[in-house]
Chains A and B, each alone.
Chain A
Amino acid sequence: MIREMLRLAVWGLTPKRSEVVETLHDFGLLHVVNPVEPTPPSEEEEVLKFTRAKVLGMLEGLEWKDWPSLTDESLDAARERVDLGIEGVVGEIDRSLDSFRQRLAALLEEKRRLAVSLADLKKAHQVVFHFIPFVSSEDSSDRNLTLWWVKDSVIQKTLSAVRGRIQKKSSEDTESRDALRFHLLNTDKGQAVLALSVESAFAADVEELMRLQGTVPWKAPEGFHRNRTRETLFAVEEGLKETGNRLEALSDEISRARDDWGPRLASLYILLDEKLEETLVESRSLTRGETFLIEGWIPADSLEALVNLLKTRFGDAILIQWRYPSSEEWHRVPALLCNPAATRPFEILLKLMPHPLYKGVDPTTLVAIFFPFFSGCMVGDAGYGILIGLLGLWLSRNKSHSLLPPVGKILIWVCGWSIAWGITFGEFFGDLGHRLFHMEPLWVERSHAVLPVLIFSIALGVAHVSIGLFLGFLEGVRKKHRHLWMERLGSLIVLLSLVGLLLIVRLNMPRPFFSLNISFLVIGTALLLAGGKLGGVIETFSALGNVLSYVRIAAIGLSSAILAIVATRFVDVLGLSFLGILMALIIHILNFVLAIGGSGLHSARLHYVEFFSKFYQGGGKEFRPFSRRRFSWKKPC
Chain B
Amino acid sequence: MEKALLALAASLAIGIPAMATAYAQAKIGSAGAGTVAEKPETSGTMIIMEAIPETIVILGFVVAIMMILQLA
B is bound to A: yes
| Interface of A toward B, CB cutoff 8 Å | 351-353, 450-451, 454, 545, 548-549, 551-552, 555, 601-602, 604-605, 608-609
Whether the pair B61, A602 counts as a contact (CB closer than 8 A) is no
Say yes or no: is B47 at the interface (Cβ < 8 Å to chain A).
yes
Closest to B61 in A: A555
Q: Which of A352, A353, A450, A548 contacts B58 (CB 8 A)?
A: A548
Q: A602 with B62: in contact, given A351-B44, A352-B43, A353-B44 (CB under 8 Å)?
A: no
Whether the pair B47, A552 counts as a contact (CB closer than 8 A) is no
13 extra A-B contacts, CB within 8 A, seeds A353-B44, A609-B48: A352-B48, A450-B69, A451-B65, A454-B62, A548-B59, A549-B58, A551-B59, A551-B62, A552-B54, A602-B51, A602-B54, A605-B54, A608-B48
Residues of chain B contacted by A451 (CB below 8 angstroms): 65, 69
Contacting residues of chain B (17-72) with chain A, CB-CB under 8 angstroms = 43-45, 47-48, 51-52, 54-55, 58-59, 61-62, 65, 69
Whether the pair B58, A609 counts as a contact (CB closer than 8 A) is no
Whether the pair B55, A545 counts as a contact (CB closer than 8 A) is yes
Complex Cα distance, B6 from A390, in Å, reads 45
Complex Cα distance, B60 from A552, in Å, reads 11
Complex Cα distance, B44 from A551, in Å, reads 23
| Interface of B toward A, CB cutoff 8 Å | 43-45, 47-48, 51-52, 54-55, 58-59, 61-62, 65, 69
Closest to A553 in B: B58
Whether the pair B55, A450 counts as a contact (CB closer than 8 A) is no
Distance (whole angstroms) from the CB of B24 to the closest CB of chain A: 15
Complex Cα distance, B68 from A449, in Å, reads 12
Complex Cα distance, B43 from A451, in Å, reads 36
Complex Cα distance, B17 from A349, in Å, reads 29
Distance (whole angstroms) from the CB of A85 to the closest CB of chain B: 37
> Secondary structure of the B side of the interface?
helix
Closest to B49 in A: A609
Distance (whole angstroms) from the CB of B66 to the closest CB of chain A: 9
Q: Which of B44, B48, B55, B69 contacts A549 (CB 8 A)?
A: B55
Residues of chain A contacted by B55 (CB below 8 angstroms): 545, 548-549
Q: A555 with B51: in contact, given A352-B43, A353-B44, A454-B65 (CB under 8 Å)?
A: no
Whether the pair A605, B48 counts as a contact (CB closer than 8 A) is yes
Complex Cα distance, B66 from A109, in Å, reads 71
Complex Cα distance, B52 from A545, in Å, reads 12
Residues of chain B contacted by A351 (CB below 8 angstroms): 44
Complex Cα distance, B51 from A91, in Å, reads 55
Complex Cα distance, B40 from A351, in Å, reads 13
Residues of chain A contacted by B59 (CB below 8 angstroms): 548, 551
Whether the pair B58, A605 counts as a contact (CB closer than 8 A) is no
Whether the pair A555, B48 counts as a contact (CB closer than 8 A) is no
Whether the pair B47, A352 counts as a contact (CB closer than 8 A) is yes
Residues of chain A contacted by B52 (CB below 8 angstroms): 605, 609
Closest to A607 in B: B48
Distance (whole angstroms) from the CB of B56 to the closest CB of chain A: 10
Complex Cα distance, B48 from A608, in Å, reads 7
Closest to B59 in A: A548
Distance (whole angstroms) from the CB of A604 to the closest CB of chain B: 8
Complex Cα distance, B59 from A608, in Å, reads 19
Complex Cα distance, B48 from A352, in Å, reads 9
Distance (whole angstroms) from the CB of A616 to the closest CB of chain B: 13
Complex Cα distance, B61 from A450, in Å, reads 12
Whether the pair A548, B51 counts as a contact (CB closer than 8 A) is no
Q: A601 with B58: in contact, given A451-B69, A454-B65, A609-B52 (CB under 8 Å)?
A: no
Whether the pair B61, A551 counts as a contact (CB closer than 8 A) is yes
Residues of chain B contacted by A552 (CB below 8 angstroms): 54, 58
Complex Cα distance, B63 from A551, in Å, reads 11
Residues of chain B contacted by A608 (CB below 8 angstroms): 44, 48
Residues of chain B contacted by A602 (CB below 8 angstroms): 51, 54
Complex Cα distance, B51 from A555, in Å, reads 15
Distance (whole angstroms) from the CB of A543 to the closest CB of chain B: 13
Q: Which of B43, B47, B65 contacts A450 (CB 8 A)?
A: B65
Complex Cα distance, B52 from A551, in Å, reads 14
Residues of chain B contacted by A609 (CB below 8 angstroms): 48, 51-52
Residues of chain A contacted by B61 (CB below 8 angstroms): 551, 555
Distance (whole angstroms) from the CB of A20 to the closest CB of chain B: 34
Distance (whole angstroms) from the CB of B13 to the closest CB of chain A: 13
Closest to B14 in A: A555
Closest to A349 in B: B44
26 contacts between A and B (CB under 8 A): A352-B44, A352-B48, A353-B44, A451-B65, A451-B69, A454-B62, A548-B55, A548-B59, A549-B58, A551-B58, A551-B59, A551-B61, A551-B62, A552-B54, A555-B58, A601-B47, A602-B51, A604-B47, A605-B48, A605-B52, A605-B54, A608-B44, A608-B48, A609-B48, A609-B51, A609-B52
Residues of chain A contacted by B51 (CB below 8 angstroms): 601-602, 605, 609
Complex Cα distance, B64 from A454, in Å, reads 12
Complex Cα distance, B55 from A609, in Å, reads 11
